[in-house]
A = this chain, B = another copy of it.
C-alpha cells in the first residue's frame, strides 16, 4: 500500500499518477512495466516514486484495490435488493450482466485482472491465489443457501460448483473480453455455460 506521503498528495496529482500507472500496466502488463515507465508517463521525479510507493507491486496492488472497490459498487445494488433471495441460477444472468457492465465501464481495471493472471512475479502469484480463494466464496454462499433450501441437489459438491462459476466469471470472462469478444457473444457464452451447470446441479 502507498505511503502516507502519497495519500497526502493533492487529489489531482494522485489521479495523475494512478492514471499513468494504469495506462502502463494496461499496455505492457505487470512484469514488463518498469518503474521508469510509470515515472516517465506520470511526470514525477524518479525519487518521488519511492517516496510514494515501496515497489512496483505497491502501485499495482493499489490499483487492484481500486478496481475491487469499484466492482463492489456495481454489485452492491443487486446484492442488497430483494431479488437476491431468488435461487442463484435464476439470478445468475442478471449478475453476469452487472459484471459485464463493470468490465465495459472500466476496461482498464478489467485488464489489470488479465495481467494479474499472466504474471510470473512472485508477489503477484501470491495475490492471485488469495483473489481466487476470495472469489470462490461469493457464489459458494448462495449455493450453500440454495442447497439447504432444496434448490440444488444434495449430492452436489457445491465447492466444486462454486469454483466452476468463479472460473467463468473471473478468469474466462476477462480472457474473452481481452480477445475482443462482443457483449452478445459473451452473453450467449454465459447462457450456455449456465445452462449446463444449472441442469447439472438443480433438483
Contact = CB atoms under 8 A, between A and B. Distances in A.
A153 B77 CA distance: 36
Contacts of A154: none
Contact of A197 (B119, B157, B167, B200): B200
A80 to B, nearest CB: 29
Interface in A30-61: 30-32
A30 B120 contact: yes
Copies of this protein in the complex? 4
Contact of A164 (B155, B161, B179, B193): B193
A201 B192 CA distance: 11
A12 to B, nearest CB: 25
Interface in A172-203: 172, 179, 189, 192-193, 195-201
Interface in A88-120: 115, 117-120
Contact of A115 (B32, B120, B193): B120
A138 interface: no
A129 B195 CA distance: 25
Contact of A200 (B30, B120, B129, B199): B199
A118 B171 CA distance: 13
Given A31-B31, A200-B200, A160 B118 contact: no
A65 interface: no
14 contacts: A29-B120, A117-B117, A118-B119, A119-B120, A156-B192, A156-B195, A164-B193, A164-B196, A167-B167, A167-B172, A196-B197, A196-B201, A199-B200, A199-B201
Given A120-B120, A199-B201, 19 more contacts: A31-B31, A32-B120, A117-B117, A117-B118, A156-B192, A156-B196, A157-B192, A160-B189, A160-B196, A164-B164, A164-B193, A167-B167, A167-B172, A196-B197, A196-B200, A197-B200, A198-B200, A199-B200, A200-B201
